[in-house]
Amino acid sequence: MDKIIVLDFGSQYSHLICRRIREFSVYAELVPYDIPYEKLKEMNPKGIIFSGGPSSVYNNGAPKPDSQIFQMQLPLLGICYGHQLIVDNFGGRVKRANKEYGHSILTVDNGSSLLSGVGDSVRAWMSHGDEAEKIPENFEIIGHTERSHAAAIANKQQSIYGIQFHPEVVHTENGVQILKNFVLNICKARQDWTMESFIEKTVSDISKIEGNVLCGVSGGIDSTVAALLIHKAIGNRLKCVFVDNGLLRLNEEQEIEKMFKDNFAVDFTAVNAKAQFLGKLKGVTDPEMKRKIVGEEFVRIFTDFAKTHGPFRWLAQGTLYPDVIESGVSKGPAAVIKTHHNVGGLPDWLKLEILEPLRELYKDEVRKVAAILGVPQKLLARHPFPGPGLAVRIIGEVTEKKLNIAKTASKIVEEELEAAGWYDKVWQAYAAVGDDKAVGVVGDERKYGNIVMIRVVESIDAMTADWTRLPHEILAKISNRITNEIDEVTWVSYVVSSKPPATIEPQ
């Protein structure tokens, strides 16, 4: 399989470069910038990309790659800081400049394979405080902006390119075309990264393991897909356990059990642990303590289950690629098999090894795998849900009253968005509740009730998020239903804070 290697110099967009490349069926992998030359060579990439980053190449201690990488005679593309690294390494000069953030017009100066088909000028997304003052010998300027005379450079003979802007972000016009030009036309990488081939290889790898596998399923797409891949490989040596902690969405525990039993032939056990979780959370108001308690209870239940239903050799997790901190070493047959002795707080004596079938995938790729494996569309389209559940959507102590409010109000939000055709347009939508109260009027009487906060956001990967500008008529319907259908609620508010500075979940 052909691959493009992206060296990560600390840009917030590094993962996005990989995702964009994978979207046109070429495998891209993110590795640390200081990966040794020999290890990179073993990976046998078709081309290399240097990501952006917050550093300046002229500062002491600035991150720089192994110098031999520049001599690999492979196509090389530097983005932002990566562009400046190329300039610096080949004898050019980088200087501090006026900061340039946001859109600039990139004018294409000379014909080049990299900028082929993007037009005479495009809007490009800039995010830098340094610029190339002098370009190296044997390089030419292929694009400029009003404030950056060498915004794109090329050594066409060696297929080395540098661009000061970010083609991977949606704000850059024809940015994907630029990446395609580099990956497909310059690197000549084959488009052989498909989810069908991923499934085939992953199932083959997992089928070679020995022993039983324990997989905790939440009803979310990640753990469900992980379980289905493992089951496809080893059948009944997989046991799935679903823990009902009382902190789920309205009627979710019944829906999850029904989904598994109706659609998948896996060994599925549901554990009712509501009383345990809610008992431990009684009187606790600190958000971090709530998270810790939920995590500890999960560990306790998994440990008990492993003791009584084992022996197990493996614990499966739905870890995704952005969560994995890599050493930068290429992964062969052991792609999904990595030994750990203390997984997620589980006791050492269990001696469980970890199985991560999805550790090479991004969220959108998991959804594609899910569709191929026959996961119901309802689950495919479902919004993400936090691991600690409603414990982080209830501000203050978790009580039965606040749980009922959060569950019912969130259901109303989802129903109204679905009715208006907005549910699939947004990343997440829910209702949160705390201890704040406000006066309302019911009939002719004053009433003191809870305030419900509605949160609806748009995002790609949850790293950043923007609040959704819902039509007022939808908000009005949501508000009216919540105050009419939930006696304890008098006020409904809408959260208009983006991430950052806010987070998606309130706690």
Burial of 389-407, coded b for 16+ CB within 10 Å and e otherwise, reads bbbbbbbbebbeebbebbb
Annotated active-site residue 166? The verdict is yes
Among the options 15, 144, 166, 231, which is catalytic? 166
Contact 68/364 with Cβ under 8 angstroms?
A: no
CA torsion, ordered 25, 73, 55, 183, to nearest 10 deg:
-20
Q: Per the structure block, which two tokens stand in for 406?
A: 């959060």
Asked whether residue 421 is marked as a ligand-binding residue, the answer is no
Q: Cα(111)–Cα(202) distance, rounded to whole angstroms?
A: 43
428-442 and 337-338 as β-strands: parallel, antiparallel, unpaired? Answer: unpaired
| Pair of tokens at residue 29 | 């992998």
Residue keyed to tokens 């706690």: 507
Asked about 133 being catalytic, the answer comes back as no
According to the annotation, is 223 in a ligand binding site? yes
Residue 219 marked ligand-binding: yes
The tokens for 448 are 């003191």
Query: Per the residue annotation, which of 100, 131, 168, 365 is the catalytic one?
Result: 168
Name residues whose C-beta falls within 8 Å of residue 102's C-beta, 6 or more positions apart in sequence: 125, 126
List alpha helices for 44-192, DSSP H. Answer: 81-89, 175-180
Residues facing 162 on adjacent strands: 78, 153
218 known member of a binding site: yes
Task: Tell me whether residue 222 is annotated as binding.
Answer: yes
> Each residue of 272-302: b (16+ CB within 10 Å) or e?
ebbebbbebbeeeeebeebbebbeebbebbb
- Residue 334 token pair: 């052991």
Contact at 8 Å (CB) between 450 and 405?
A: yes
Q: What is the DSSP string of 372-391?
A: HTT--HHHHTPPP--TTGGG
Contact 223, 382 (CB under 8 A): no
Long-range Cβ contacts of 58-64 (<8 Å, 24+ apart): 58/88, 58/94, 58/95, 58/130, 63/9, 63/10, 63/33, 63/34, 64/33, 64/89
143 appears as a binding residue in the annotation: no
Instruction: Give me 28's structure tokens.
Output: 């891209």
* H-type alpha helices, 373-440: 377-380, 400-419
80 in catalytic set: yes
The count of C-alpha atoms lying within 13 angstroms of the C-alpha of 26, restricted to the half-sphere facing its C-beta, is: 27
Q: CA-to-CA distance for 416 and 324, rounded, in angstroms?
A: 36
Long-range pairs of 190-196 with CB within 8 A, sequence gap ≥ 24: 190/1, 190/2, 190/26, 191/24, 191/25, 191/26, 192/1, 192/2, 192/25, 192/26, 192/27, 193/1, 193/22, 193/25, 193/26, 193/27, 194/25, 195/365, 195/368, 195/369, 195/372, 196/372
Residue 498 assigned as binding residue: no
Spell out the SS3 assignment of 186-209: HCCCCCCCCHHHHHHHHHHHHCCC
In one-letter notation, the amino acid at residue 406 is A
Please identify which of the residues 18, 80, 187, 215 carries the catalytic annotation. 80
Active site residues: 80, 166, 168
Residues tagged in the binding site annotation: 218-224
Residues tagged in the binding site annotation for ATP: 218-224
